[in-house]
Structure formats: structure tokens, C-alpha cells
């Protein structure tokens, strides 16, 4: 079968019953898309298909033939190809806001956020939370992740971005301290 991934067409030999996630990871070596639950429950396998975020563990590779697939590996090159500099702004914001601990959810989170911003350049906080509601994170508590995306919106609007947790006025003060 032929799959177009991150702008390149790959000639792939895989059985009909393989999912897109399996082909990405075990045929193309693109292991940035994570195999978490393998049943639609976690969002770690999220990729963009024709610009929309989708769960690659619940799409057969054969179903994805003829469509444009973007994985986390393709995001930075795509940004450069569009005339940007450095990493994709979402990747950069996740970095600056420390929006990860183990990182397992990160590629899916970033792609869901990218799809949102491509469609809605200036989303509300509620729209951001809703767009990321299909990506679970078991580590961060979500705050830094939401703030990372909010910071991109703030920058575009020319307003003050959210303060990062370690810069907050109450740093050093723990629960119960006065």
C-alpha cells in the first residue's frame, strides 16, 4: 500500500489488519506516536489525517491510503516548509512551559493543539480545554499543557502570557505555609 506521511509517499508492505499506528511505528520507524491503550481511550496515538486529529490505533492503515498523514516527526519540518523558523510554536511553547513529565502524552497533545490552532487561531480557554479533552495525561495535572497553548494565543493577541508555575508570585510557599 502507499501512505503519504509527513509529505513523503511510502510504499509499505503490511497486512490488511494492521492499524495506521502499527505501520507508523513498526514499518516506518516513526515511534513518536505512542501506543498507550490501543483502544481509543488515551489519545497518545493521535496523528493528523487531512489536518484533523485522529486516533491512529483505531484506523486501519488501508483506510488512511490516499490521505495526508502528519505525525509529530513531521511537525518541525512542516513548520520550516511553511516559512517558519525553529520548531513549531506549539512544540516551543510546550518546551518553555515544561508541559510534560514522562512525555508519553506529549506528541498527541501537541498535534491536537496544532489542529485547533490551524482551524481557530485565537481559541478561548474553554475551546483549548475541549480540543485537548481527547488526550489523557497521567502526570502533569494539565495546567502547564493548557498554559502552553494559552501562551501562543496570548502572544498572537499581544497580551501578557500566563505566568509559568515556577515564576508565580507564591513560589517557595507550599500548602500549609504562611
Ligand X SMILES: Cc1cc2nc3c(=O)[nH]c(=O)nc-3n(C[C@H](O)[C@H](O)[C@H](O)COP(=O)(O)OP(=O)(O)OC[C@H]3O[C@@H](n4cnc5c(N)ncnc54)[C@H](O)[C@@H]3O)c2cc1C
Question: How far apart are the C-alpha atoms of 1 and 153, rounded to whole Å?
Answer: 39
Give the total of residues touching ligand X (CB under 6 A): 2
**From the list ligand X, another protein, ligand FES, none, partner contacted by residue 140 (C-beta under 5 to 8 A by kind):** ligand FES
**From the list ligand X, ligand FES, another protein, none, partner contacted by residue 103 (C-beta under 5 to 8 A by kind):** ligand FES
Interface residue with ligand X, options 40, 84, 86, 121 (CB under 6 A)? 40
40 within 8 A of 135, measured Cβ to Cβ = no
> Contact between 103 and ligand FES (CB under 6 A)?
yes
Write the Ramachandran bin of 64: left for phi over 0, alpha for psi from -120 to 50, otherwise beta: alpha
Find cell 486529529 and name the residue.
53
Axis crossing angle, helix 89-96 with helix 72-81, rounded to the nearest 10 = 120
- Which three-class secondary structure state does DSSP give residue 147? helix
**Least Å from the CB of residue 82 to another protein:** 22
Interface residue with ligand X, options 23, 28, 33, 41 (CB under 6 A)? 41
**From the list another protein, ligand FES, ligand X, none, partner contacted by residue 105 (C-beta under 5 to 8 A by kind):** ligand FES
Closest CB to another protein among 12 and 58? Answer: 58
Q: How many contiguous H segments (helices) and E segments (strands) does the chain have?
A: 6, 5
> Contact between 100 and ligand FES (CB under 6 A)?
yes
Amino acid at each position: 500500500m502507499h501512505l503519504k506521511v509527513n509529505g513523503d509517499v511510502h510504499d509499505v508492505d503490511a497486512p490488511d489488519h494492521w492499524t495506521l499506528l502499527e505501520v507508523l511505528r513498526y514499518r516506518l520507524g516513526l515511534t513518536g506516536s505512542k501506543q498507550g491503550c490501543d483502544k481509543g481511550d488515551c489519545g497518545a496515538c493521535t496523528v493528523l489525517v487531512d489536518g484533523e486529529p485522529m486516533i491512529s490505533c483505531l484506523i486501519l492503515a488501508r483506510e488512511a491510503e490516499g490521505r495526508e498523514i502528519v505525525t509529530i516527526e513531521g511537525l518541525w519540518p512542516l513548520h520550516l516548509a511553511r516559512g517558519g523558523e525553529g520548531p513549531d510554536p506549539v512544540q516551543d511553547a510546550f518546551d518553555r512551559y515544561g508541559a510534560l513529565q514522562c512525555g508519553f502524552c506529549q506528541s498527541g497533545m501537541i498535534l491536537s493543539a496544532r489542529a485547533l490552532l490551524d482551524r481557530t487561531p485565537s481559541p478561548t480557554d474553554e475551546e483549548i480545554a475541549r480540543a485537548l479533552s481527547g488526550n489523557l495525561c497521567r502526570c502533569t495535572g494539565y495546567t502547564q499543557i493548557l498554559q502552553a497553548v494559552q501562551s501562543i494565543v496570548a502572544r498572537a493577541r499581544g497580551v501578557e502570557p500566563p505566568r509559568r508555575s515556577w515564576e508565580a508570585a507564591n513560589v517557595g510557599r507550599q500548602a500549609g505555609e504562611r
